[in-house]
Amino acid sequence: MTAQILTHELTSLLAEARKRSGDLRSATEKSLAELKILSSSPENEVARELSRKPSFPSPFILACASKHPRITAMGIGCLQRLIVAKALAQSRLREVLDAFRDAVSLGPDIQLKILQALPSLLQNYASNIKGKYLEDTLAICSSLQGTKVAVVNSTAAASE
């Protein structure tokens, strides 16, 4: 994960947010500012530093809650990047799972993005995904397995 990629994603999200949501725009601007501070850090430290900033994923979580497929797709994609890099603050796991659960109704593209993110979430945050978190993660997979879109259904079945 590079700060450059996240900067690009946040800039794109900011362009979309300007059209729709003040809260999303504000959170995106704040995360961009946090990322600029880290831009001089070595690449291997960026993920570690971001994981210590619980407010950083806020625009991505808000994007998932927007119910706009394009914005939601951007949010899920960025959350997946943070998850893969272990750059997501553990304190935000509940909100990420809630965002994924709320976005499953937005169509096959969104559903597939969620399914792409879940294995990394389970692997990289295994010590945190227990009890209710594990139950919610499996419920997301189960709800996606029940979809009528064949590719989503079969991918969800393979994820469980």
Kindly state the average pLDDT of the residues 2-22.
85
Structural contact between residues 21 and 66, judged by C-beta atoms closer than 8 angstroms:
yes
Look at phi and psi of residue 86 and say left if phi exceeds 0, alpha if psi is from -120 to 50, else beta: left
Rounded CA-CA distance 111/130 in Å is 23
pTM of the model: 0.88
89 pLDDT above the threshold of 60: yes
Query: With 60 as the cut, is the pLDDT of residue 156 above it?
Result: no
E strand or H helix that includes residue 60: helix 58-65
Q: Phi and psi dihedrals of 147, rounded to 5?
A: -70, 155
pLDDT in tens, 22-80: 899 999 999 999 999 887 888 779 999 999 999 999 999 999 998 899 999 999 999 99
Euclidean distance between CA atoms 76 and 63, whole angstroms:
8
